[in-house]
Structure formats: C-alpha cells, structure tokens
Structure 1
Amino acid sequence: MKLIAMLQRRMRPTTGKIAGLAILAALTAGIAQPVLSSEPAVKIPAPVADEKPLASGASGAGRTQTAVFAGGCFWGVQGVFEHVRGVTRVTSGYAGGAANTAQYERVGTGSTGHAESVEIRYDPTQVSYGKLLQIFFSVAHNPTQLNYQGPDHGTQYRSAIFPTTPEQRTIAQAYITQLGSTKSYGAPIVTRIEDDKGFYAAEDYHQDFLVKNPRHPYIVINDLPKIVNLKAMFPEIYREDAVLVSKR
C-alpha cells in the first residue's frame, strides 16, 4: 500500500504515453539536441576549478570517491548518473537530516531537514567531481527552482550539494560563482552547499526506479528527457548500459 500511495502522489497526467514514444525514439536515434522536460537542460561551461586528474597508475588511483547531490525527486537524478561513464554506483537516499527520520513518509512531510538525494561513487581516473557537477547543473535538475523541482514541492526537493571533502566544497562554491557570473540561467542559482550529516539509502523500491519503470508517466514526462539530454550534451561520457544498485 505504501508503494501504491507513493506512485499516486507522483503520478502525472498521461499525455506521457505519446511523449514517451517520442523520447524513446530520440534515444534510439541518438539525437544531438536537448529535448523538452519539466526541468529543461541548459548548456553550461565546464568548471574552471576541478579536481586534479589522476592517471590510472598514479598513487590513489583505483580508489572510489563519493559525491552527494540533491536535485528534486531522486528517481531522475539517480537515472542520469547511472548512465555516466566512470560512475560505479548511484544510490537514492536522504541527506541533510538525522538517521532516525530517514524514511520516505517522514521525509515527504518536509519537516525532517532531509532532501531526496543521490550518493554517487565514481572513479576519479575516468570522471572528475567537476564533470559530475556540470552534469548536475545542466541536465539532472534546474538549480534556479527554490525548494521544488518540476511538479514536486517542498524543502525535501531542494537543490543542494553535500561535499564529502573540503576540496569538493571549494570546487562547488567556485562553480556556482562561475555560473552566476556567466549568467547561464534566466534566474539566480539557489543551490545550497550544506554540511555532510550523513547519507541514508532510501527504501529498496526506490532504487533504479527509472530503469525498472521507463513507462511510468512521471518518469516519461520528467525524467526520460534527462537521459536523452545527457546523451546529446555529453556523448563522450554517456554510457548506454546503466550501472545499477540491484540486479534486475
């Protein structure tokens, strides 16, 4: 019953069946232009400040690093980063609040301090933190929407970054300043940089939701366009086969 209620809350009008066919066709055809979604993609410059790249044989190479982002409903954000080369695992979950309130029903009240988030494990020899930020700000969500994303409203859907190292905090702050100075968006960036209070994985039924439910109306309208845009805007780092939390 909890799952049914959750799906009903996120159900959108099903003009999605026709839209979904167009989106899936675009994926198949390998389009080169962004497509329309409730959070349109924006072409933005790469960050000037980024991690120092690691060669495959360098000291520290082979160690996975962790990034934590919040950008609205975690279904779509997880789905985007599962298609990024160099990412080894993406988990949907909650960040910003306490461990004992990290449950979907409680987070949904907007009173826990949590935001729906994703924890991204990545190989720094294949993809940098700055590149993940560029994807986050350009195709994964709209950083100008304050405490909402598309149809989802509340502080649990806020745009936020939870740096796991001081270097990540510096890179994220510098990138927000850079994007603000280039006026890449039609409104100010409202993304918050928050302290890392711990990440708590969401319930199993949320994991890999986009991949497992590609015809769900919410996914068709709000999230499949993000995958199309990722492929169009970042072809050099796009991967067809999603890296999944669970085996299908």
Structure 2
Amino acid sequence: MGSTASGTGFPADSSHQLATFGAGCFWGVEKSFQKKYGADIETLVGYAGGAPEQPSYKQVCTGQTQHAEVLQVRYDPAKITYENLVDFFFRMHDPTTKDRQGGDAGTQYRSAIFYHNDEQAAIAKKLVADLQHHFGKHTISTTIEPVGTFWNAEDYHQKYLDKNPHGYECPTHFERSWDRIHELFGGN
C-alpha cells in the first residue's frame, strides 16, 4: 500500500494532449473532472512541481518536497479544448486560498496549473487575468508552473473515490457557475 510512486504520466500520443492541475487533495480533483467530462478524458493522480524524484505520498504529505498533489488529464482537443479544462479548474475549487483547500493546508495543496508547453502557459495566464474580476478583492493565488516531471501517485490513490465511495472528499471540490462565483466573492 505504501509503495513509492513511479512512472511519468501518460505515454505520448499524437491524438491526445495533457493538462495537469493542482487544486487540493487529488482524490476530489479527479472525481470532479471525471464527473464533468466522463469518458471524454483519462486521469492519473500524482505529484509535480518539487523534488525529490519519485516521491512517496508520505514524503509529499510532509510539505518538505514542494511537490503538489496533482491530476493529469489526457484529452482529445477535437472534443475538449484546453481553455474548457482551465475554465472548469477555476470553477471546481477555490483558487483564492494560498496553499489550502478546505481543511487541507500546505504547499502540496496549492492551486496550480502545470503547463506542458508555451501555448498552455499563455492560455492559463490570460484566463487568470480575464477571470479575476469574478473573485472581486479575493486575488487568484493559482501558480502557473512548468510541469517538469509528473510522478504517478501510488496505485491505491488512482480512482480512489471510485474504489472508496465514502472516503474523504474536500468540501471545496464541486462545480460552480461564474454567476455563483461572482455572487459569493463579490465580483466586480
């Protein structure tokens, strides 16, 4: 159960692209994306944005590795755009809390977009600027970082809430409309 993480995400595939997001505990992030996009995406949970190589869940939980718990999404850009995924990312968690989602606190729970290329970085930066007004005086704290190496989380973390339907789920992981966000955060 406590085996060390290994691997580096999905294999290369010319008909699909990858997107990687940190938005708190990866179990709830994975469940939210699966609920929204279903069979149109494939998902893996893992770690990105820190050191050492091949971190374990136990190491990441210490907050000493600077890795974030992340979700990697493999998608067909003919069906779903990267912009759609990033838009949903901002609506499925609270991007204004630095290093925190609900009761989970630490750099491993940071709101982060880990880009795979310059185009994704530009899209992410543009959407942060375009969407900030919905959050009013609450500044989006999402970091935009190069993905570097994605390390698969241990097998028992993959599809965790499918296998453990009564497992812990962060209360911040659910889809909100932009109108609701605007109302909740005092958008301008």
What is the match of residue 122 of structure 2?
170
1:208 aligned to 134, 159, 165, which one?
159
Q: Give the match's secondary structure for 1:143.
A: coil
Is 1:159 paired with 2:111?
A: yes
Letter of the structure 2 residue corresponding to residue 195 of structure 1: P
Change (3 A) 1:172 1:106: same
Q: Which runs of 5+ in 1 are unaligned?
A: 4-61, 234-248
Separation in 2 of the partners of 1:101 and 1:124? 29
Letter of the structure 1 residue corresponding to residue 151 of structure 2: Y
Q: Which runs of 5+ in 2 are unaligned?
A: 4-13, 178-188
Superposition map of 1:49-88 within 5 A? 63-83=15-35, 84-85=37-38, 87-88=40-41
Contact 1:86/1:124, CA 8 A, preserved across alignment: no
Separation in 2 of the partners of 1:87 and 1:198? 24
> Which structure has greater strand proportion?
2
Q: Structure 1 runs of 4+ off > 2 angstroms?
A: 85-88, 98-101, 182-186
Superposition map of 1:127-138 within 5 A? 127-138=80-91
Is 1:108 paired with 2:57?
A: no
Q: Give the match's secondary structure for 1:131.
A: helix
Separation in 2 of the partners of 1:186 and 1:214? 36
What is the match of residue 9 of structure 2?
none
Once the 2 structures are TM-superposed, how far is the Cα of residue 100 of structure 1 from its aligned partner? 2.5
Contact 2:45/2:157, CA 8 A, preserved across alignment: yes
Separation in 2 of the partners of 1:185 and 1:123? 33
Contact 2:52/2:65, CA 8 A, preserved across alignment: no
Once the 2 structures are TM-superposed, how far is the Cα of residue 81 of structure 1 from its aligned partner? 1.4
What is the match of residue 171 of structure 2?
222
Letter of the structure 2 residue corresponding to residue 138 of structure 1: R
Contact 1:110/1:156, CA 8 A, preserved across alignment: yes
Once the 2 structures are TM-superposed, how far is the Cα of residue 87 of structure 1 from its aligned partner? 3.5
Contact 1:67/1:121, CA 8 A, preserved across alignment: yes
1:197 aligned to 127, 144, 148, which one?
148
Q: Give the match's secondary structure for 2:53.
A: helix
Separation in 1 of the partners of 2:28 and 2:38? 17
Separation in 2 of the partners of 1:123 and 1:185? 33
Q: TM-score, normalised by structure 1?
A: 0.62
Contact 2:111/2:141, CA 8 A, preserved across alignment: yes
Q: Give the match's secondary structure for 1:82.
A: helix
Superposition map of 1:5-44 within 5 A? none
Once the 2 structures are TM-superposed, how far is the Cα of residue 210 of structure 1 from its aligned partner? 1.5
130-139 or 96-105: which moved more? 96-105
Once the 2 structures are TM-superposed, how far is the Cα of residue 186 of structure 1 from its aligned partner? 5.2
Once the 2 structures are TM-superposed, how far is the Cα of residue 70 of structure 1 from its aligned partner? 0.4
Letter of the structure 2 residue corresponding to residue 137 of structure 1: F
Q: Give the match's secondary structure for 1:130.
A: helix
State the number of aligned residues.
Answer: 167
1:121 aligned to 61, 66, 74, which one?
74
CA deviations on 1:61-91 (whole Å, 9 max, x unpaired) are x710000100000001111112315643110
